[in-house]
Amino acid sequence: VKRFIGRKGGEVSDETKQVPYKVLEGGDRNVKIFSSHAGKEFAPEEISSQVLRKLVADASKFLNDKVEKAVITVPAYFNDSQRQATKDAGKIAGLDVLRIINEPTAASLAYGFDKKANESILVFDLGG
């Protein structure tokens, strides 16, 4: 669903053919995903929030502490609408979203946390 979050129906025609689930295109409205299992449609933000809730629950259990704040990563190509929709998904999941950052930036930061020496690195985003 990540590829559909924050996007209008008219923007996703080609991509809807590449997924195994039903995408409801609404022209100028944001897309919805139809769940045959639940028998209803969901906004991509709702589905993303469910994934985030599960991640928060797992992280809270592992850390033995409540996770309430998060920095969420998005693909570097996401536009403002997609970034805002991702932030909305975090809020729906009950998180205080501190920042939305690009995935390659997050990879660079994570790599650098344990490094003491001054060095150059390359982060290559293969996509996906």
What is the CATH T-level fold of the domain 2-112, as seen in this structure? Answer: Nucleotidyltransferase; domain 5 (3.30.420)
Mean of pLDDT values over 18-40 = 86
Average model confidence (pLDDT) across the chain: 89
- Which tokens sit at 32? 């919805």
**pLDDT tens-place string over residues 51-82:** 999 999 999 999 999 999 999 999 999 999 99
Q: How many whole angstroms separate alpha carbon 42 and alpha carbon 29? A: 13
Structural domain boundaries of the chain? 2-112
pLDDT at 89 over 70: yes
- pTM across the whole model: 0.85
